[in-house]
Amino acid sequence: MIAARACPPGLTVWLTGLSSAGKTTISRSVHEALQARGERGEWLDGDAMRLCLSAGLGFTKNDRAENIRRIGFVAELLTRNGVIVLVSAISPDRALRDEMRRRIGNFVEVYVHAPLEICEQRDVKGIYHRARMRQLQHVTGLDDPYEPPLAPEIVCPTYIEAPEDSVARVLAAVDAWQKAAIESNDIEAVRGPEALPPTMTAVAS
């Protein structure tokens, strides 16, 4: 039997890190690169999603969790329909990110890493300054904790790495994941799911 070439499955690339670590910069550039290549990609930015999907939520632990679950729900739907989804959100709770991984399935976690002092120097949105002036509460890294990933697929150390290098790193991971997923689907089309390597069964299902 000759296998038909499989279309790439959907994938969620979840970028987590402190405010001003560089999540938006990387996500925007990766999204533009995917569009230039003619791929189906969507970018779910945490701030934009909060405005349109979670406008009634605040920044307490429970409200943050609900916001992440809503973003995860949208990402899951898009991923299921073959879209490469970029999520850029602080998402400080490790257990909640792991919950999104289990829920979505096809999932790559990107830790956009910059020390707090570097993020405060950048302070793109003025969040840290306002927090230090006691004009803002529940700021991750100051009032509220951030739990770094324990085993992310990608780490982008943006305090020592140029943005284009971080972007290239994420794109390379997407390409590698798609290639492995397509190859596993090709094997399944020819020989059935029992032919899949154990580590690729979830990808092909």
Tell me the per-residue pLDDT of 15-48, one tens digit each, with 9 for 90 and over. Answer: 999 999 999 999 999 999 999 999 999 999 987 8
Domain boundaries, the chain: 11-200
Residues catalogued as catalytic:
91
> pLDDT by residue (tens digit) across 117-145?
999 999 989 899 998 988 988 888 898 89
Fold of 11-200: Rossmann fold (3.40.50)
DSSP secondary structure letter of residue 194: G
pTM of structure: 0.83
Q: Are 16 and 100 in contact (CB under 8 A)?
A: no
* Distances 156 to 11, 21, 45, 82 between C-alpha atoms, Å: 19, 10, 18, 25
Q: Which residues contact 129 (CB under 8 A, 6 or more apart)?
A: 123
Q: Are 47 and 19 in contact (CB under 8 A)?
A: no
